[in-house]
């Protein structure tokens, strides 16, 4: 089809030859991922986060960066970490994985952050980790806000550390609770149809729990409010005694809203996964729905945000009230501040001669002993990059506050494999003075 005469061919060949020769003599570019520590000076450390600040999944989650900044500013005002002050660059990915990739690229290439911290969402975190080649570049991805058990694969994700217990752990703890308290009852499950939800399915399967009705829904769907009507219709037909929701808070809102609209209230015992049970998030969409949470069961691994008797919660409440006086202190704030707290612990442990490699090494070697607000042990080691390792179970009150059943936190711990679910004997060490690294 393309005709080339001999003269053209000779000329083209000559050009290609010269091009090839020149390319081989071009000096290697200045970029060398192992010799530089972007985002780091003698007095500053730049961290970056991408998460949904707008869009369907944003209510509640969009408070996390404010909470993190509040704690970082508190540390900065008290001298920083090893003499360095921390800054946080925040990007909005709308809970869309493709957008999260673009935002992560901006954080790494334009903002030149030292490390990512607290990226949120399984699909988004997976996509950005792969696309930006975090492992090849040696960029730490600290304490990602997802419990997908795949991040425990150190070979595939050598620089990624999770903060949440895995969703498999959560499903196993939930399964034990259901077996102990609702044996022989009719069960239904609504789950997010991606790695997040499928991880839970694997956990339920390992625990030997099956459901009479399972309803998947598409993650990031903007049509959730309408989809919820279909769930109620199926639930009404199946009439389950217990309905488990393993999804985000916008799915919980869709479930409660449609149940109320259809007059299907008090017909089933709701059990909400830790991700989807935040009352403030639900209130942000429809305050009237919060009351419908009353009596539902929920899981958490951190102290309740209303528990001012907990020294961490008391400190966080004080810091947050000063930084964000108009905002409500809730689960998302506890999550954000805990994330920042753990990041500060890790940076401190990495020492004054901070490098990305030293930071990763510090978490692997000392991470299980880092001070933190959680009520479960941390699982960080040379072989595990999983953070918290268990859950306590409680009941939601009419204001949407989750209170531990029996008046105390009874924590159950397990693993992402076939390990048993056992009651934890872990006693959390005292908080460092003023909540600062020492």
Partner 1 sequence: MLKKHPLITFIIFGFILFLISNRLDELIVYHGATVGIYVIAIASLILLTGYSGQVSLGHGALLAIGGYAAVLARIHYNAPVWLTFVVAVLATAVGGALLGMAAARLSGPYLAGTTLALAIGLPSIANQFSVFGGEQGLSFDIGFPPASLGEDFTQYKWYFWISWSAALIAMYWLRYVLHSRYGRSWRAVRSNDVAAELAGIHVGRNKVLAFTISAGLAGLAGALLGMTISLVSPGVFPLLLSFSLATGAVLAGVTTLGGVMIGAVILVAIPEIALAIANRYGGSETIITNLPGLLVSGLLILTVLLVPNGPVEQMHARRAKHAKSGKASHSPVELTVRVGSKTWSTKK
Applying CB under 8 A, does 133 fall inside the site for partner 1?
yes
Q: Are 76 and 66 in contact (CB under 8 A)?
A: no
Q: Nearest-CA neighbor of 414 among 201, 174, 199?
A: 174
In the region spanning residues 52 to 81, those forming contacts with partner 1, defined by CB under 8 A, are: 53-54
Task: Determine the 3-state secondary structure of 277 from DSSP.
Answer: coil
Report whether 106 contacts 112 (CB < 8 A).
no
Give the three-state DSSP class for 11.
helix
Binding of partner 1 at residue 199 (CB under 8 A)? Answer: no
Q: What are phi and psi of 116, to 5 degrees?
A: -90, 150
310 is a contact residue toward partner 1 (CB under 8 A): no
Among 51, 127, 200, 224, binds partner 1 (CB under 8 A): 127
* Neighbouring residues of 401: CB distance < 8 A, sequence distance ≥ 6: 279, 304, 305, 306
Residue selected from 44, 82, 131, 368 as contacting partner 1 according to rule CB under 8 A: 131
Q: Quick one: 62 or 268, whose CB is closer to partner 1?
A: 62
* Residue with smaller CB distance to partner 1, 157 or 312: 157
Query: Binding of partner 1 at residue 116 (CB under 8 A)?
Result: no
Vertex 157: Cα angle to 154 and 159 (nearest 5): 95
> Using an 8 Å Cβ cutoff, are 299 and 393 in contact?
yes
Give min distance, CB of 130 to partner 1, in A.
5
- β-pairing verdict for 115-117 and 44-51: parallel
What number of chain residues touch partner 1 (CB under 8 A)? 45
Q: Is 21 in the site for partner 1 (CB under 8 A)?
A: no
Query: Which one of the spans 130-138, 171-179, 248-256, 393-401 is the region binding partner 1 (CB under 8 A)?
Result: 130-138
Among the candidate windows 3-11, 165-173, 309-317, 374-382, which touches partner 1 by CB under 8 A? Answer: 3-11
Query: Is there binding between residue 294 and partner 1 (CB under 8 A)?
Result: no
Choose among 150, 172, 148, 200: nearest CA to 412. 172
Using the rule CB under 8 A, is 314 a contact of partner 1?
no
Residue 195, interface with partner 1 (CB under 8 A)?
yes
Please state the closest distance from residue 78 (CB atom) to partner 1, in A: 28
Asked if 32 contacts 71 with a C-beta cutoff of 8 angstroms, the reply is no
Which of 122, 58, 123 has its CA nearest to residue 91? 58
Nearer to partner 1, 222 or 365 (CB): 222
- Residue of 41, 77, 83, 136 that binds partner 1 (CB under 8 A): 136
224 binds partner 1 (CB under 8 A): no
E-assigned strand segments in 25-113? 44-51, 85-92
Strands 411-413 and 422-423: antiparallel
Work out whether the CA dihedral 147, 153, 157, 161 comes out positive or negative.
positive
Q: Is residue 22 involved in binding partner 1 (CB under 8 A)?
A: yes
Per CB under 8 A, does 130 bind partner 1? yes
> DSSP assignment, residue 110?
I
Nearer to partner 1, 29 or 418 (CB): 29
Q: Tell me whether strands 160-162 and 422-423 are parallel, antiparallel or unpaired.
A: unpaired
Distance CA 47, CA 113 (A): 5
Does residue 155 bind partner 1 (CB under 8 A)? no
Per DSSP bridges, beta strands 390-396 and 402-404 are antiparallel
415 lies in the binding site for partner 1 (CB under 8 A): no
What count of residues does the chain have?
438
Min dist. Cβ of residue 407 to partner 1 (A): 40
16 lies in the site for partner 1, by CB under 8 A: yes
Residue by residue, DSSP assigns 314-363 as: HHHHHHHHHH-TTSPP-HHHHHHHHHHHHHHHHHHHT-SS--HHHHHHHH
Binding piece for partner 1, criterion CB under 8 A, among 7-15, 235-243, 409-417, 419-427: 7-15
Mark residues 203-222: x for contact with partner 1 by CB under 8 A, - for none: ---------------xxxx-
- Indicate whether 4 belongs to the interface with partner 1 (CB under 8 A): yes
Find the binding residues for partner 1 in span 90-109 (CB under 8 A).
92, 96-99, 101-102, 105-106, 109
Binding residues for partner 1 (CB under 8 A): 1-2, 4, 8, 11-12, 15-16, 19, 22-23, 26, 28-29, 31-33, 53-54, 92, 96-99, 101-102, 105-106, 109-110, 122-123, 126-127, 130-131, 133, 136, 193-195, 218-221
């Amino acid at each position: 089809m393309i005709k080339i005469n001999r003269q053209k061919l000779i000329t083209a060949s000559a050009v290609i030859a010269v091009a090839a020769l020149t390319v081989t003599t071009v000096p290697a570019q200045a970029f060398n991922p192992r010799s530089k520590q972007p985002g780091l000076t003698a007095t500053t450390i730049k961290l970056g986060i991408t998460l949904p600040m707008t869009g369907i999944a944003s209510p509640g989650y969009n408070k996390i960066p404010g909470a993190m900044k509040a704690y970082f500013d508190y540390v900065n005002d008290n001298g920083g970490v090893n003499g360095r002050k921390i800054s946080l660059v925040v990007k909005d990915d709308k809970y869309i994985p493709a957008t999260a990739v673009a935002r992560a690229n901006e954080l790494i290439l334009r903002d030149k952050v030292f490390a990512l911290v607290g990226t949120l969402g399984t699909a988004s975190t997976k996509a950005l980790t792969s696309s930006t080649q975090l492992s090849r570049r040696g960029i730490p991805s600290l304490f990602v806000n997802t419990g997908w058990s795949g991040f425990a694969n150190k070979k595939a994700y050598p620089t990624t550390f999770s903060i949440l217990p895995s969703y498999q752990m959560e499903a196993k703890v939930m399964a034990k609770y259901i077996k102990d308290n609702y044996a022989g009852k009719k069960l239904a499950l609504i789950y997010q149809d991606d790695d997040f939800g499928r991880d839970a399915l694997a956990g339920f399967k390992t625990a030997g729990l099956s459901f009479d009705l399972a309803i998947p829904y598409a993650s990031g769907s903007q049509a959730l409010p309408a989809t919820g009507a279909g769930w109620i219709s199926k639930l009404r037909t199946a009439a389950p005694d217990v309905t488990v929701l393993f999804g985000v808070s916008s799915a919980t809102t869709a479930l409660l809203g449609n149940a109320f609209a259809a007059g299907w209230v008090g017909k089933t015992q709701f059990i909400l996964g830790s991700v989807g049970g935040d009352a403030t998030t639900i209130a942000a969409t429809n305050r009237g729905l919060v009351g419908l949470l009353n009596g539902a069961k929920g899981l958490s691994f951190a102290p309740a945000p209303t528990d001012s008797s907990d020294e961490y919660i008391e400190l966080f409440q004080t810091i947050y009230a000063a930084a964000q006086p108009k905002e409500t202190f809730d689960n998302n704030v506890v999550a954000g501040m805990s994330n920042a707290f753990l990041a500060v612990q890790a940076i401190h442990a990495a020492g004054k001669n901070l490098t990305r490699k030293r930071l990763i090494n510090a978490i692997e070697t000392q991470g299980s002993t880092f001070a933190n607000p959680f009520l479960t042990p941390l699982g960080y080691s040379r072989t595990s990059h999983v953070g918290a390792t268990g859950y306590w179970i409680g009941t939601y009150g009419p204001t949407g506050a989750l209170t531990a059943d029996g008046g105390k936190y009874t924590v159950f711990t397990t693993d992402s494999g076939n390990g048993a679910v056992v009651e934890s004997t872990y006693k959390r060490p005292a908080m460092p003075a003023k909540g600062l690294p020492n």
